Structure 1
């Protein structure tokens, strides 16, 4: 590769435009129309393909010639420390992926998740009560956005909430892009040992929770204890980190769009709230560095040949702004939009297992928080809010609010 050609390949990731914390980096938006499948350069000098169009992303995510296995040569690692060793079936291809995923599908079925709605409503109402009774200003992340999904996933998995500080700190280390290899490995070991011990306790004294269901499958010889532990780690991290960031980031976005906030705050119609959740998922998309894959065979797509062994980055935060998929000014937040076909949860066999849970939690939060605290507002200027530009999962580290 010549020096001139190397200089033309943009580095990944890229910075967002100043003052535009909700929009993808302009360079990727431009590539979607100019060169929707093009090379980018990662930290190690490798040059995987960046895919920016909605239709191309869906096609590749559903293609069996594309692998999620991060151990394969050519897989595009986003940092020198890798990641994914504790993510269980999330980094496996079929048939192992399907075998393990099937064992935890039932607890996340829509009917079982809907049965949890009253419990989640009680959790949210209790935390709002605490907010109203407490001091102002308050950090909404610490006092509300993190506790909601942490309490929910703790109850679902059968993890004592009293240990929430431990697994929040360690899960943060696992997903923080700037964490060192030693920090990430230590955090992974801590979580693995903790969940492994908990699975062992569930083997002896099962309860009515997901870890007990996994322990039952271990006892039946359907999976190993290590596999059950890895699934527990995955569900614990994914079950609170993603939703917590979406609660806080969605709140920042709505506060910056008061007309849209009023549409959410002024309704008790579940259908309207559900539509608002889908639009916020499309508009914000917290997995802001996309989804990584590697080609198993030569693939022709959009006039480009992706060779076997070449990496792929599906930047779905840009795909979710594609005007061909969302024709009505996709860069605008519009909670009345029909955005149900977004790919914030991915697409194909690896789409997010917990999406029904996330949707339900967000519906309860967005329909409750702003209605019960109608004068909620930022306590600092937008440029003083620390956004998570350095993390794999986008959001805010703190959100000082008052009312």
Structure 2
């Protein structure tokens, strides 16, 4: 198959952790195929690990939104995508991207994130104690998976956790799969205004946090509010879904829990590979590029199936099996290249503490509903996960 008419989105029935079966078939037949986008653009779809990694590493492929065609249905109604808002380095190329990245990378070093381990342990213990008092039946997303990373990103950035109902509403609207474009724009504006007020407060009275440190950089208030909004939104949504979906996967594969306790570092890397909650990425060719024996013309959009690349049998043996003893180093769950996730070390620390401690403290934890009744996020949402995870214990 050398051309497909749209992006396969439907996950296999009864297998919520697996990418769409059609993507796996494409990967086996031709890991780089032509694809027609919803707006009529004829671009490409990459499903192979080698092809996806090569695109992410090649700066001839742009991250600028205004050069892309979106692969998801409904987005064509927006028309041409607007450029990245001020401070959103995800949608920028070098050298503009480099300026932001250079200022931020020192704030998220492995050493600094590991120093946060004690704080993560404290926050985790507090929420597990609260679960015990509230249980024995509750929603793990609301009571644990969401608040643990939310508290941590707030402490790191210097965002008042007491404002969580306000900024969480903005972030939810921003990431909503079916939200009208006007609502997303309004949510972004509201988040920017909230962060703008916070930046002004930090300039006037700096505290010991990342936002206060950045007030001494050359970023202006609008840029600093934009950067803060991106970091807050990403820190809230992605790790929360990894913790919740990771717990769901382990409840469905209880034989793997021993491996979680034996080597949490290795277990977390395998959960990241197996689940890959940030399942799609997009790039636009800035010039003609030869890839995998194909010529990708300048102006062509390439959609990268991250979840399928991480299940490539040419890279990972028996890739559809969850195996917490696997050496999954090299997975693409955090992306690759200059846009590799800035907060990946924080996410790792949170997962290494939160998930093993959950199963240690609640060894009889189990689903409170049938697996097929767990409400999953829509398949076309940018970050995959569960809306709620009803659990109970003895």
TM-score by length of 1: 0.93
For 1:264, what is the secondary structure of its paired residue?
helix
Give ranges in structure 1 of 5+ residues lacking alignment.
Answer: none
| 2:315 is the alignment partner of 1:325 | yes
For 1:314, what is the secondary structure of its paired residue?
strand
Is the 1:76–1:294 Cα contact (8 Å) retained in structure 2?
Answer: no
Out of 62, 67, 74, the residue aligned to residue 62 of structure 2 is 67
Specify the alignment match of 1:27 in structure 2. Answer: 22
For 1:396, what is the secondary structure of its paired residue?
coil
CA distance in 2, matches of 1:319, 1:141: 27
Specify the alignment match of 1:229 in structure 2. Answer: 225
Q: CA deviation at 1:132?
A: 0.6
CA distance in 1, matches of 2:118, 2:86: 32
Specify the alignment match of 2:339 in structure 1. Answer: 350
Specify the alignment match of 1:273 in structure 2. Answer: 264
CA distance in 1, matches of 2:247, 2:5: 32
Specify the alignment match of 2:41 in structure 1. Answer: 46
Out of 245, 258, 274, the residue aligned to residue 249 of structure 1 is 245
Q: CA deviation at 1:382?
A: 0.8
Query: Residues 314-393 of structure 1: matches in 2 within 5 Å?
Result: 314-327=304-317, 329-389=318-378, 390-393=380-383
CA distance in 1, matches of 2:325, 2:212: 41
Is the 2:41–2:69 Cα contact (8 Å) retained in structure 1?
Answer: no
CA distance in 2, matches of 1:122, 1:19: 36
For 1:340, what is the secondary structure of its paired residue?
coil
Specify the alignment match of 1:297 in structure 2. Answer: 287
Specify the alignment match of 1:92 in structure 2. Answer: 92
Give ranges in structure 2 of 5+ residues lacking alignment.
Answer: none
TM-score by length of 2: 0.95
Q: CA deviation at 1:136?
A: 2.8
Runs of 4+ in 1 over 3 A off after TM superposition: 74-78, 80-87
CA RMSD, Structure 1 to Structure 2 (Å)? 1.6
Out of 6, 13, 21, the residue aligned to residue 11 of structure 1 is 6
Q: CA deviation at 1:168?
A: 1.3
Q: CA deviation at 1:86?
A: 6.9
Is the 1:49–1:310 Cα contact (8 Å) retained in structure 2?
Answer: yes
Deviations 1:175-215 (A, max 9, x none): 12211011101100110000011001101001110110122
Classify 1:100/1:41 alpha carbon distance in 2 versus 1 (closer, same or farther; 3 Å): same
Is the 2:288–2:297 Cα contact (8 Å) retained in structure 1?
Answer: yes
Out of 295, 299, 302, the residue aligned to residue 312 of structure 1 is 302
Query: Residues 189-268 of structure 1: matches in 2 within 5 Å?
Result: 189-217=189-217, 222-265=218-261, 267=262
For 1:312, what is the secondary structure of its paired residue?
strand
CA distance in 1, matches of 2:213, 2:8: 39
Q: CA deviation at 1:40?
A: 2.5
Is the 2:268–2:348 Cα contact (8 Å) retained in structure 1?
Answer: yes
CA distance in 2, matches of 1:138, 1:87: 38
Is the 1:22–1:283 Cα contact (8 Å) retained in structure 2?
Answer: yes
Is the 1:388–1:394 Cα contact (8 Å) retained in structure 2?
Answer: yes
Is the 2:7–2:71 Cα contact (8 Å) retained in structure 1?
Answer: no
Deviations 1:238-288 (A, max 9, x none): 0110000000000000010011023224x3xxxx10000000000000012
CA distance in 1, matches of 2:344, 2:117: 14
